[in-house]
Amino acid sequence: MTVEIRGGTDNRPGAHDPRRLAWAYLSKVVQGPCPALSRLVDEVGPEEAARAVRERDLSELLGEKTVARAHVDTAAHDLDLVTGMSGRLITPDDDEWPQWRLLGFDTLSASREDGAPFALWVLGSRSLTELTERAISVVGTRAASGYGEHVTAELAGDLAVDGWTIVSGAAFGIDGAAHRAALGVGGLTVAVLACGVDRAYPAGHARLLRQIAQNGAVISEYPPGTTPAKYRFLARNRLVASLSDGVVVVEAGWRSGARNTASWARKLGRPVMAVPGPVTSVSSTGCNRMIREGEARLVANAVDVVDEAGPIGLRAGVDGDVERDLDAVRALDGLSGDALLVYEALPALGASGVRELSEASGIAVHKVRAVLPMLEMEGFVDSGDTGWSRQR
């Protein structure tokens, strides 16, 4: 008997929505991004796409891409497994599918194997939309120096205190330090894995990964049971880049994977930042070089990062502008987009709540929430017991 459930995940083992079962089956078949399959699902829905894959009723391209595992259907088992870990499968069907985070992939060639994820397996109770609303990726070498670990702790900690989610890859070194810094200040953090979310990789970070799942999310586009592989790390890096407002490389050797993440951020139109370090330290070679070659902008602290990646249109203008006119930056002319609309929705006298501001400005509540602390930091608004008000 098929139980028809719409609009949500049924968490009872074995009682999965057939549509979600189809997504899970297909995710296992392609194991990673597959723009061709995403397009087919878009057109005919996951169930019909799953039937077509099972029955080999496919274009030549999709036939090739799915032939190896079309006969493997562990969908119910996989969904049971993640449900048992308080996890879930998120697909483009879901409200929390981070659609706006993934728009960047549209600008890349649709034939790329490394397009938008097909689906996301997630451990953690928070909505992915909420988690990635204001997020910075902090990445770097596994062979971090004391300097790198220190700077990561300061920078990621300050960003997390300021309400930014820290996204990283859970590797040893800089990645781990970034997650820990966020956890240490009670902030949010997201780990993106190159293996199934049921696998702790690296094993030495098993406890860290459990903490991350409890305070944020552990994410993978690979189904449970998938083992890490080199090409999956590269694909993972593109997700790390896409799920944030910008990528900071704290320390990286010349051949560090962090440079791959930075390269993805560039392709996706996200700001790429790097922390400089001693020219005598091999752990900083990659960062210094990226800055030198104009591949990354130098950042020294969290304020620099927010200046670069923050939601308010306050970025420094043309490179080479010698002195920035701070007064001009502070002027309302400096505001743009959502920030300006939210500011203008504030009453001339008195205070407003977030929901009121959302209604008055037409900006979604979660974006209003993201913009207000920035406006406060920049000195445009004040927060008080009765809500938000214009700064006098």
Residues near its own copies, by CB under 8 A: 147, 150-151, 263, 266, 275-280, 284-285, 288-289, 291-295, 297-301, 304, 316, 319-322, 324
In this complex, which beta carbon is closest to its own copies, that of residue 66 or of residue 284? 284
In this complex, which beta carbon is closest to its own copies, that of residue 142 or of residue 266? 266
Residue matched to tokens 């800055």: 291
In this complex, which beta carbon is closest to its own copies, that of residue 109 or of residue 280? 280
If residue 312 lies in a helix (H) or strand (E), which one and from where to where?
none
Neighbours of 61 (CB within 10 A): 12
Q: Which of 221, 26, 30, 203 is nearest to 121 (CA)?
A: 221
> For 159-217, what is the HEC assignment?
HHHCCCEEEECCCCCHHHHHHHHHHHCCCCEEEECCCCCCCCCCHHHHHHHHHHHHHEE
In this complex, which beta carbon is closest to its own copies, that of residue 15 or of residue 328? 328
Strand ranges for the chain from DSSP E: 87-90, 120-123, 135-139, 165-168, 189-192, 216-220, 247-249, 272-274, 297-298, 381-384, 387-390
CA 369 to chain centre: 18
Residue type, 110: A
In this complex, which beta carbon is closest to its own copies, that of residue 213 or of residue 262? 262
User: Minimal distance in Å, beta carbon 315 to its own copies?
Assistant: 12
User: Minimal distance in Å, beta carbon 293 to its own copies?
Assistant: 7
In this complex, which beta carbon is closest to its own copies, that of residue 300 or of residue 332? 300
Residue 152's Cβ-count burial label (10 Å; 0-12, 13-18, 19+) is buried
Separation CA 350–CA 286 (nearest Å): 50
In this complex, which beta carbon is closest to its own copies, that of residue 304 or of residue 359? 304
User: Minimal distance in Å, beta carbon 324 to its own copies?
Assistant: 8
Separation CA 175–CA 223 (nearest Å): 22
Under 8 Å between Cβ of 28 and 69: yes
Tokens of 315: 């970025």
In this complex, which beta carbon is closest to its own copies, that of residue 2 or of residue 280? 280
Separation CA 284–CA 278 (nearest Å): 7
In this complex, which beta carbon is closest to its own copies, that of residue 87 or of residue 257? 257
User: Minimal distance in Å, beta carbon 29 to its own copies?
Assistant: 34
User: Minimal distance in Å, beta carbon 275 to its own copies?
Assistant: 6
The conformation of residue 227, written as its DSSP 8-state character, comes to P
With a CB cutoff of 8 Å and minimum separation 6, the contacts of 294 are none
Separation CA 66–CA 37 (nearest Å): 9
DSSP assignment of 81-112: HHHHTTEEEE-TTSTTS-HHHHGGGGGS-TT-
